[in-house]
Amino acid sequence: MHNKAQRLKNARVVEIDPNLDPALARRLPPGQALTERFPILHEGEVPQYDLDAWTFRVFGEVEKELTFSLEQLKAMKQTDVVTDIHCVTRWSKFDTKWEGILFKDLLPLLGVKPEARYVMVHADNDYDTNVPLEDLIRDDVMLAFMFDGQPLTPKHGFPVRLVVPHLYFWKSAKWIRGFEFMKEDRPGFWERNGFHNVADPFREERFSGEDLGLPEDLWVDVDYD
């Protein structure tokens, strides 16, 4: 198991604030704590880009491999989404506002073969994460350029990140650079290192194998916006 998974073991579970409004409590997955902050957690260094040379690659089970420039992506239809997000390190942030391309709007342009059932999301720092195609065609899944009315900061995934709000946020990869469409599922970076393959927050699908605890304050002292 990866060192990060080891660090998250043997800790007490977060208790829901008894004073939390019941309507909000229903939106909070078990074991999560609400925060107004936007904690910054990622593997590796924050990439630096020559945006003129930046490309996004679509390959695998497609009729023809495609490459998009950042300008081409930004010229596509843009949509606003307001949604809750949940990190495996036990923080949740409600009503976050994103702007970008809905995956379901991009999909018809990609020539995906009918047998494709999964997507490997490729990102810089040799990061990848696997997501079933059916999870990506929801109304709130997007390639985001903007957060809270401003361009993404480098630490939050500039120039573009994936947002898959109904899954733990490690599936919402920062600094994405490509989609690989696949017939069969294949684990990504964290999924190969002890994290759950599905990552549903309301089922607490944090880890594969044994039920590991997560420290409630792991994210408190990290950098944040």
Closest Cα partner for 217 from 16, 21, 33, 43?
33
Residue ranges of domains in the chain: 3-41+55-203
Say how many C-beta atoms besides its own lie within 10 A of residue 49's C-beta.
13
Q: What is the mean pLDDT of residues 96-110?
A: 98
The residue whose two tokens read 């060192």 is 3
| Residue 69 near residue 54 (C-beta atoms within 8 A) | yes
| Residue 130 near residue 187 (C-beta atoms within 8 A) | yes
Positive or negative torsion for Cα 186, 191, 194, 197: negative
| Residue 188 near residue 130 (C-beta atoms within 8 A) | yes
Is pLDDT of 39 > 90? Answer: no
- For residue range 51-74, list pLDDT tens digits in order: 999 999 999 999 999 999 999 999
Query: Which H or E element spans position 27?
Result: none
Sheet strand arrangement including 55-60: 66-69, 55-60, 176-182, 118-123, 127-132
Say how many C-beta atoms besides its own lie within 10 A of residue 202's C-beta.
12
Q: How confident is the model at residue 219 (pLDDT cuts 50, 70, 90)?
A: very low
Q: How confident is the model at residue 18 (pLDDT cuts 50, 70, 90)?
A: low
Residue type, 126: D
Residue 148 neighbours by CB under 8 Å, 6+ apart? 96, 97
Domain 3-41+55-203: CATH superfamily is Oxidoreductase, molybdopterin-binding domain (3.90.420.10)
Q: What's 130's DSSP letter?
A: E
- For residue range 113-142, list pLDDT tens digits in order: 999 999 999 999 999 999 999 999 999 999
Query: Which H or E element spans position 24?
Result: helix 22-25
* 122 vs 124: CA distance, rounded Å: 7
Q: What is the mean pLDDT of residues 70-89?
A: 97
Query: Which H or E element spans position 172?
Result: none
